[in-house]
Amino acid sequence: MTQFSWLHRGIVEIFPQPTDADSETESLEKRLETTNRPLRIKLGIDPTGADIHLGHSIPVRKLRAFQDAGHTAVLIIGDFTARIGDPTGKSEVRRQLTEAEVAQNAQTYLEQVRPILDFDTPGRLEVRYNSEWLSRLDLGKIVELLSTMTVGQMLAKEGFAERYKKENPIFIHEFLYPLMQGYDSVAVEADVELGGTDQKFNIAVGRDLQRHFGQKPQFGLLLPILIGTDGVQKMSKSLGNYVGLSEHPAQKYQKLQGVPDNQLEQYFELLTDLPLDKLPENPRDRQTLLAWEVVRQYHGEQAANEAKEAAKTGGKEGAVPEFSLAGVSQFPAKLAYILGATALCKSTGEGKRKIQEGGVRLDGDRITDVDTTFQQPSELHGRVLQVGKNKFVRLIP
């Protein structure tokens, strides 16, 4: 095992390299060897949705690896940029989120990454919100940022190029997104920025802006996009091929046991720290180990063992207590009433409060509308209702 095996595990690219014509002479490895201070490792997360899946966890896990090597993780919650939305890879303009939506999403993001990052060791983590500096930019500073890039450079960006070619609208405020993400690097004086392969353009903009403002440009470290449990397309909630960080251990275990054989090595490399040369040869044994290890990371050994035992006995869903909807006196029924009927909440009133607080999920999706109503029991059959982190029931006829 080499000195920097932790750094290189699962990465696609580190840039710049010493051979690049416009780069500094040192490599990231050289910087890590010679630095006399902890490097500042930036990862930005825009809270555009309520939940994170395993694909989102990959750069967060790499951020933890830097923490364990003695460096400072700078986790930027993009509460300001989330109101615009990253246009990368989007065929149309994103809906702009409200300040309240962003604040609620940000809180749940932090809850979900807590099992991954070291929140306790002094000096190992800074959590910053980019509204701290972006909300204070005056028109003069915004014009200065805009003057560092040309329209041609923006239109060369993947996503913009496709939309321009197809004559789909591109709004001026979308051009601001990579500049604002880049300015985040200036604000926190980042030495390294982590991101998926689709973030190279935005990270490079950060390097350019750091030069413009007299800082040493950051290194970019790119990580792969995780293929979903279908083995075909990238992991995505909308495609249904995802494993959510907030899902019940039994649900995680069940989904991970179904990962196709040809994707298992990628999952082990990106989602665990297990040595890749010591994995079981039998694909079924690999699936079992993967499911157990990922559940252990997020829920502990006991939960992993319980999920494994339930799967062994054929009751993959049996680790989740069941509640018969026959116990709901009538339909249509409001979710708050159902929460009381299942005893997940003490009453309908408590159910309403939990919904308002963002503590209620259905199949991992956060429910925030207290008036959510179900017309008939069949809408809920087989679904998992959750309150907080530890209260679950599977709804059955």
CA distances to 7, 317, 320, 369 from 339, in Å: 46, 20, 16, 14
Q: What integer pLDDT is reported at residue 164 of this predicted model? A: 81
Q: Which residues are annotated as a binding site?
A: 237
Kindly list the structural domains of the chain, giving each domain's residue range(s) and its CATH number in brackets, ordered by start.
5-223 (3.40.50.620), 249-312 (1.10.240.10), 322-396 (3.10.290.10)
Which residue carries 């059959």 as its tokens? 381
Report the C-alpha gap between 203 and 183 in whole angstroms. 10
Q: What integer pLDDT is reported at residue 91 of this predicted model? A: 45
CA distances to 50, 93, 178, 342 from 85, in Å: 14, 9, 10, 38
Q: What integer pLDDT is reported at residue 77 of this predicted model? A: 94
* Residues 377 and 367 sit within 8 Å (Cβ to Cβ): no
Identify which of 219, 228, 194, 157 has the alpha carbon closest to the alpha carbon of residue 74. 194
User: Mean pLDDT by 10-residue block, N- to C-terminus, for the chain (397 residues)?
Assistant: 83 86 73 94 88 94 97 95 65 63 84 94 95 95 92 81 82 87 97 95 95 96 94 86 88 90 95 94 94 95 89 59 83 91 88 89 85 90 83 83
Q: What integer pLDDT is reported at residue 248 of this predicted model? A: 84
Q: Which residues are annotated as a binding site for ATP?
A: 237
Q: What integer pLDDT is reported at residue 317 of this predicted model? A: 46
Q: What integer pLDDT is reported at residue 95 of this predicted model? A: 60
Q: What integer pLDDT is reported at residue 233 of this predicted model? A: 92
Q: What integer pLDDT is reported at residue 362 of this predicted model? A: 87
Query: With b meaning 16 or more CB within 10 Å and e meaning fewer, what string describes 196-228?
Result: beebbbbbbbbbbbbebeebebbbbbbbbbbbb
At 375 the three-state DSSP class reads coil
Encode pLDDT of 287-340 as tens digits. Answer: 999 999 999 999 999 999 988 887 776 554 445 778 888 888 888 999 999 998
Q: What integer pLDDT is reported at residue 22 of this predicted model? A: 54
Encode pLDDT of 91-101 as tens digits. Answer: 455 566 777 87
